[in-house]
Every structure is written in C-alpha cells, then in structure tokens.
Amino acid sequence: MENSRIGVILPAGKIFDRIFTEAIVPAGLGEVVRISTELSEAKLPAALATMETCTTIVADITARNPHAMFLAGYARALKKRILYITQHAEDFPFSEQPLVYGSNTEFLRNELVARLSAKHGESLTKGGENDARAKFLSIFGDLLKKHAHEHRSAVEQNEPNVFTLVDQNMDLALVQDIARRGRELNIRVRLM
C-alpha cells in the first residue's frame, strides 16, 4: 500500500513481539509502527499522537486485553480504518468480525496483505449477503485453492466461530486440512 502508515496495537509480550516481526512487518504494508500499549501518564499522549498519524490500524484484541481494547476504541473514535485480529475466535464486542489467526504467522501475513491491499479495502467495513462466504474464504481460501476446489453451495455462519458448508463435495485431504486449521484457530466447520 503506497503512502500508508499502519499503526499496530498489540498487547505486550514475546508472543506478540513475534507476531509483529514475523507476520505484520514482513507483509510489506507500507510504513508500520507499533503503538505502545503502556497507558502510563507519560506514554499515553505519544501513543495517541502516533495513532492520529496512521491511515490504518491493525488491532490485536486477543483475550480482550484492556490496553489494546482502549486504544482500539480510540481508533474507532478517530474513524480510522481498523482491522481487528485475534488468536482465538471469542466473544467480540464490535460489529466487525476479527481476523482469527491462531498462532499461524504465515496465515496472518498473507491475510494482512489480502485484506489491506487497495482492492480489498472495502471488505474491512462492509458486510452483505455473502459475508459468511467471504469470511470462510478469508480463513480457508488458500486451502481450497491448494486442492483446486471451489465450494459453490451455500456457506452459513451460525456463530462467530462455526461455519456450515451446505452440499459439500470435498476430497478427504482437503477436509483434513480444513479440520487441522480449524482446530488451530478454534473454528468449527460443519460439512452437510
């Protein structure tokens, strides 16, 4: 993305340091800055000022970290373009669904590139009748492509972390790959 400045809100810790260095920075999204989630009186003004200069915010709200949630709320108030990410599918307080990545940094990197590229920019904020299909494809589309399979029937999302594929006709290897990723991301896929 040209002329973009991506602000990244991540909870503190080595796990999130790894997410930043192995998935977010290598995605090549433009200038990437990590926004401090230390909300001390001395550091908060700098974090908020940095956020104001960003065109897009990537906010990791894993386990509803209160500092990350506070900064994500501030980004919403600034009407910034926000992509929420999380390691586990869990109760989510905003209307937009987060990108669930488990601990798979390669998956997260690829999804960030796809979702934050100019041609996919609208998908961050708009839903629609094909929303369940789009969410399913954003999580499992690379596996479908790897197995040269296109699911043409309905995709339903019964709960935030449960997808139902109607009239599926997948081969066993693809079903196993989807099940493996689903377990990793805490997502259940039902085949009908």
Between 160 and 84, name the one with better pLDDT. Answer: 84
pLDDT over threshold 60, residue 100: yes
- The topology under which CATH files domain 5-124 is Rossmann fold (3.40.50)
pLDDT over threshold 70, residue 74: yes
On whether the pTM is more than 0.75, the answer is no
Q: For residues 23 and 26, what is the distance between their CA atoms, to the nearest angstrom? A: 6
Q: What percent of the chain has pLDDT over 90?
A: 38
Contact assessment for residue 72 and residue 82, using Cβ atoms and an 8 Å cutoff: yes
Query: At residue 49, what is the residue type?
Result: A
Query: At residue 142, what is the residue type?
Result: D
Between 50 and 167, name the one with better pLDDT. Answer: 50
Q: For residues 70 and 182, what is the distance between their CA atoms, to the nearest angstrom? A: 29
Mean pLDDT of 6-34: 92
Which phi and psi angles does 161 have, rounded to 5°? -120, 25
pLDDT band at 49 (very low <50, low <70, confident <90, very high): very high
